[in-house]
Every structure is written in structure tokens, then in C-alpha cells.
Structure 1
Amino acid sequence: MVNKVAKKPLVIAVTGLNAIDSPGPGVAVIRALRDGLEQELRIIGLSYESLEPGVYLHDLVDKTYQIPYPSAGAEALVERIQHIHSKEHIDIIIPNFDAELYNFIKVSAQLHAIGIKTFLPTHESLEARDKINLAKFGKKYEMHVPQQMVIHKVDDLRKAAEELEYPLVVKGKFYDAYVCQNIEQAQKAYYQISAKWGTPIIVQEFIKGSEINIAGLGDGKGNCVSIIPMRKLYITDKGKAWAGITIEGADLLNLARQFTKATNWRGGFELEIMRSKKDELYIMEVNPRFPAWIYLTAGAGQNQPASLAKMALGQSVEPFDEYQIGKMFIRYAWDHITDVGEFQQLSAFGEL
């Protein structure tokens, strides 16, 4: 009788478990991984706070560990990941927050040395598309981007308004953006954003038009493996899509390919686009990771998180050539019941 050795499940660690009204991508990424990878998975959640809802969704997340905030630095991150890896034998890590990417990219070689795969852009690519550098990026690669000014003090708002005129958009270096109609609103936005994310603050020209988002996946060699354009159908007061629908548009696909070729982007990204009244496509922002609505790519026939995991493992993934137009997502909220003991365990011991 031959004894069969049980195959080890693929262990994937995922951040971004804050499935709130302004959700992180983590829960959607996990759903896509479970749908798209035809093998047993063990999903490890990496959380920053004890009240991230994804921590307690045990049908999706098998085990959760807290990790240090990005401000703690790359050394603290890699030490914590090494400890978690000693217990879980992680195969792949998929980070999903802008603010953590710098550290994860910095330690990716160390992680690879101990057997943990990532599929991330380079620091150069990350910096090139940064909000602060977006105007320079657009000029270099002949892409439409709004005019903007980068400021470090609230007094500079008046000068920015004189140049850009109202309405204008006040944006944080990582997250948050407010459309402001006057100096009072601009000052309020400045203080709110700087208190949360620090300076500098980006003041951007307001482009009127229809908003479109594009989720893409680059192979790191200038090719786009997957492109899914989506139009928002319902937007929250924080500007987040609560419902959306896949749309067609050759110009949208070409823009995503142009961005990927210009940056040799490696990994997931999101282009926030505004189609102006003159039918020009303006890149408003480039998010260097999967968006929170990424599960729609699985529903439309191009499962980007599953494809990224395969590429991280060194498998060949052919570029997708079609997707389903008219596929919708509608986000919803429900009350998940758990026990206070789980919250206390994660808070006290850093794992659950």
C-alpha cells in the first residue's frame, strides 16, 4: 500500500482587511484568490488594527497576525514577517495599501531569500506615478493629467487657487481628496488631510467630466496581462464606488497599455480617469495596487489577483484578450457577529 503525502496548501498572506465604508482591497483580493486558484489555500491576514473586519471573517481568512505600521520602518516589518513565516511557511505576500508598499518593495529580496514570493513594482516605478510627481509623469509620457501644485503650508492655498482657479481638488499624499469651491473649504480640507497623512498636500485642477476607473495587471516587462475598465454607478460621500459596471472602450485599454509600457509596471494598479467634455482622458491618480472593487475583474472573466499569484510563483500567464461588458458589482454591508474574546486575543497577542 502506497502512502499518499498530503499536498501542502498554498499559503498567501494579504493586507488591507479593513472592509469598512472606505474599504481596503484585502477582502476582495482574498475572494478572487479563492475563486481563481484551483488548489487548497491557506489565507493569512496581516492587519494593522484589531477592528479590521476581515480579521473576523473566518470563512475567508484562516489566521491573522498584526504587523507594525509602515512608519515603524522596513526592518521592523521584515522581522515580524520572518516570525510569522516561521509558523506559517508563507508562499506569497500581496500588500494592498499605498503607504506600506515602499517597505514591502525594500524587503522583497530578503523575503524571496527565505521563500516568500512577491510581485511588486520597483521603487522607481512607484515614485514615477506618485501623486506628487504625476504632472511630471504626464508631461514625460505625453498623457493628459490635471495641472497641480504641491504645497507644504496652508498659506500657499491662495497662490494655488489663483493659478488653478475654483473649483479645485485638495488631495493627501496617500489618501483622501476634497473638491473645494472656495478658500474656506480648501483650508478645511488642508487641515483635515494634513492632520491624518501629513504634508505635502497636492492642489489639483478640477476636471469636469465622467469618472472611469481601470484595474490593470502588468508583467514587469511593459506588457499588460489584464485590463478591466469600470464606470461608477453609485458613489459614497467619501468618493468611493459602491456600485459599478464594466464598460468597453478601446481608448481606455490603450491608455492602460501606454501606462504599463512607460513604467514597466509589475503587479496590480488602478488608473483613476476623467473623460472630459472634449473626450480627452485625464489620469487623475494612479493607485499602485489593486482597488477595493477588484473582485469585479473575477466576475468579468479576468481574475487579476489569481493571475498575480500565478506570476509570483513564476508561472506563465497569457494576456487576456476579452472580458464581459455590463458586469456589475453592488457593495453591501452587514453586521458580522463575533466574540469579544477574539478581539482581546488579537489585541493582546498580535494573532488570531
Structure 2
Amino acid sequence: MANKYANLCIAVTGLNANDNPGPGMAVIRCLKECFRDGLRIIGLSYESLEPGIYLRDQVNKTYQLPYPTEGTAALVERLAYINGQEKLDLIIPNFDSELFNFIKIAPQLQQMGIATYLPTHQQLALRDKVNLKNFGTKNGFYVPADHKLYTTDDIKKAADEFNFPMVIKGKFYDAYVVYTMDQALKAFHQLYAAWGVPIIAQQYIKGNEINISALGDGNGYNISLVAMRKLYITDKGKAWAGVTIKDDKLTQLADNFARASNWKGGYEIEVMSDAEGHLYILEINPRFPAWVYLTAAAGQNQPVALAKIAMGEGVEPYADYQAGKLFVRYSWDHIADIADFQQISAFGEL
């Protein structure tokens, strides 16, 4: 193993590790657990205060990327420069909002010798929050009813149909359970400012919240899937503690999604199990979740499996994982020097 993966260089985005963490640091932790000293991690950041930039024991060097709104030409140019410095083997993008561009430039990255393992644009679109209800209806999944919101007038129509509480969701991120029209309006304006329209109003489903992290092979099958029940949820709806569980119905749900979508790459299904035992799909996120290290702890290291497949190695589907593995997220004040912040802000490298 040591010789086979010596001098491996993998770039990872999603280095934010705040109260709404990105998956990047968990993905890195998974990779380092397998590839160890032979691995060089390159962080790719958008903001100068993403914590992963300053965690030198985890990230060897960080480069800033242009925002996704700047388009693919700027991204290709920047990655060509980074590749010239680092000779990247693989890039694992971890933000929903950047995936469209990375999928588009994947052939150019391949020409540079950089592997990726990503869904198609068609797959990305079918599980979009705007299209999820139609996808569910077509393929026999339970999905809460929804309304697309473009103006505040649309909120009234949604409230008339769903009543309160209901869920107001941003196009890419963030969701708020709202109990009054005032709360709904506030959520709409916050999400509009952050992500633009459409904003989605979704029927509120009461029950137990379960997440499934999985890795699709692009041919209708899952290489890995691990289910986790949320035990502690933040006001942003993020799992701050969770435990792995096993349930044949959850396995079947993820297998049915892989078959219906031919999904290629990592993904997360957010599920609500209601009182009748129906499994409602609330969201399908097109990348690994921030809790993906739990998959490694339970015996299925999904980022490592993705890395091996992306680099041309055959990987057998995982057969089992350990139920009862618990994670508890915690905050930690990491101390850095202001000179580091100035360096990344001014020069885009650290």
C-alpha cells in the first residue's frame, strides 16, 4: 500500500468547519486514515477564513479558487496554475454550488492528468430541490409537496396549501422551519439574499430524521451506503451528533435511487421517517455529507473508495457496516498568525 500510493496528491474543497460545516475536512480525515504519509493534501478555498486553510497538520498547502459565478474559464486557468505547482492526481469538490463548473471542466482536467469522479449535469439536475418532487413522483419515492417561491406573494399560496409549520429552503443551502407568516417572510428574504430564486417552500413532515451517505458507481448500483440517525440537530438543521443504524428499508431506498438515477460519485439522502413508517426524501445532496468520517468509523471509508475508483482501481462494493457508531461534533479554537491570513488574502496561497 505504501509504495502503491506514495506521492499521491489530492485537492479538496469545502474547508469551512463552522456551525454549518462543509464536508472537506471530514473527507481529508478519511483519506489520511488510509493513504497516511504518502498523501499530500491541497486545500482549495473560496474565503480567507475557512478553518481548513490554517490546519497545517491536515492541509499541506491551500490555494484560493475564483467563485463559481466567475465561470469555467477562470476555474480552468486557476487549476492549471495549481497543477503546475503541485501535479494533482485527483480533485474532490464538496460544495453543491461548484459542481456544475467542475462537471463541465472534467474532460479538461483529465487532459491535465487530474482525475475526478462526478455525476453528469443531467444527474445533478434531476435531484435538484426544484425538480425533486417530479423525480420522486416519476420513480415512486415519497417526497413532500413543494412550491417554488419567486416573490413574497408566492408564500401565501404555499401557506394556504400546506398550513404551518412548513419548511423554507434555499436553492443550494439552508432551510428554516417556519411557524408564522412573519417567520416565512424573514426566511424568504434571508435565502433570497444568499442564494437568489427560486426558493422552495416544502410541506413539513414530522418524524425521525435519518441521513444516508452513499457512493454510486454510475451504473445503477451503490459501492457503499451507511445510514445515520440524527441525535442532536442545530438551529440550521445540521447533525451535531448521530449514530449509525441498519434498516433494510433504508438500504432499499438508496439502492432504488442509484437505480433510478445511475448516480456516479458521493451523495447524501436526507430522509424523514413518519409515524406510518413512510420514508420521505427531503433532499438529495450531490456530494458527501459533513459527517462522512462516520462512514470510515463504521467500516466503509467512502472518500477512499471514491479516490481509488477515480484513479482507475477496481473496488468491490462494501457488504456491511457497524451499527451503533456514534459521532459528536465539537468546536475547537485553532490559533494561527495574522500573517497567514494576510498571505492567503493577498496572494491566494498558503
How far did 1:333 drift? Answer: 1.1
Letter matched to residue 304 of structure 2: A
Letter matched to residue 258 of structure 2: T
Q: Secondary structure of 1:131's partner?
A: coil
How far did 1:38 drift? Answer: 6.0
**What's the counterpart of residue 329 of structure 1?**
327
In structure 2, do the counterparts of structure 1 residues 208 and 296 end up closer, same or farther at CA, with 3 Å as the change threshold? same
Letter matched to residue 7 of structure 2: P
Contact (CA 8 Å) 1:128, 1:137: kept in 2 or not? yes
Using the size of structure 1 for normalisation, the TM-score is 0.97
1:254-281 deviation line (CA, Å, top 9, x unaligned): 1001101111111100000000111000
Contact (CA 8 Å) 1:10, 1:39: kept in 2 or not? no
How far did 1:215 drift? Answer: 0.2
How far did 1:36 drift? Answer: 2.2
1:291-328 deviation line (CA, Å, top 9, x unaligned): 00000000000000000000100111111110000001
In structure 2, do the counterparts of structure 1 residues 217 and 176 end up closer, same or farther at CA, with 3 Å as the change threshold? same
Letter matched to residue 135 of structure 1: K
**What's the counterpart of residue 276 of structure 1?**
274
**What's the counterpart of residue 72 of structure 1?**
70
Using the size of structure 2 for normalisation, the TM-score is 0.98
Contact (CA 8 Å) 2:5, 2:35: kept in 1 or not? no
> Structure 1 residue runs of 4+, over 2 Å off?
5-8, 36-39
2:13 is equivalent to residue 19 of structure 1? no
**What's the counterpart of residue 160 of structure 2?**
162
How far did 1:160 drift? Answer: 1.1
Contact (CA 8 Å) 1:36, 1:298: kept in 2 or not? no
1:206-264 deviation line (CA, Å, top 9, x unaligned): 00111000000001111100010001111111111111100010000110011011111
2:340 is equivalent to residue 345 of structure 1? no
Letter matched to residue 207 of structure 1: I
2:248 is equivalent to residue 240 of structure 1? no
**What's the counterpart of residue 303 of structure 1?**
301
The count of aligned residue pairs is 348
**What's the counterpart of residue 286 of structure 1?**
284
How far did 1:165 drift? Answer: 1.7
**What's the counterpart of residue 29 of structure 1?**
27
How far did 1:7 drift? Answer: 8.0
Q: Secondary structure of 1:332's partner?
A: coil
How far did 1:96 drift? Answer: 0.2
1:82-108 deviation line (CA, Å, top 9, x unaligned): 110011000000000000000000000
**What's the counterpart of residue 196 of structure 1?**
194
How far did 1:161 drift? Answer: 1.0
**What's the counterpart of residue 174 of structure 2?**
176
How far did 1:151 drift? Answer: 1.7
How far did 1:37 drift? Answer: 2.9
Distance 2:232 2:144 in 1: 24
2:218 is equivalent to residue 220 of structure 1? yes
Contact (CA 8 Å) 2:92, 2:116: kept in 1 or not? yes
How far did 1:8 drift? Answer: 5.2
Letter matched to residue 56 of structure 1: Y
2:109 is equivalent to residue 82 of structure 1? no
How far did 1:166 drift? Answer: 1.4
Task: After TM superposition, list the pairs within 5 Å mapping 1:83-98 onto structure 2.
Answer: 83-98=81-96
Structure 1 range deviating more: 303-312 or 29-38: 29-38
Letter matched to residue 137 of structure 2: K
Distance 1:311 1:8 in 2: 17
Distance 1:242 1:29 in 2: 17
Structure 1 range deviating more: 41-50 or 164-173: 164-173
Distance 1:148 1:15 in 2: 31
2:108 is equivalent to residue 110 of structure 1? yes
Is there any run of 5+ residues in structure 2 with no aligned partner, and where? none
Distance 1:107 1:199 in 2: 25
Q: 2:56 aligns with which of 55, 58, 67?
A: 58
1:90-129 deviation line (CA, Å, top 9, x unaligned): 0000000000000000000000011000000000000000
Structure 1 range deviating more: 37-46 or 139-148: 37-46
Is there any run of 5+ residues in structure 1 with no aligned partner, and where? none
Considering only aligned residues, what root-mean-square deviation do their CA atoms show, in Å?
Answer: 1.3
Q: Secondary structure of 1:22's partner?
A: coil
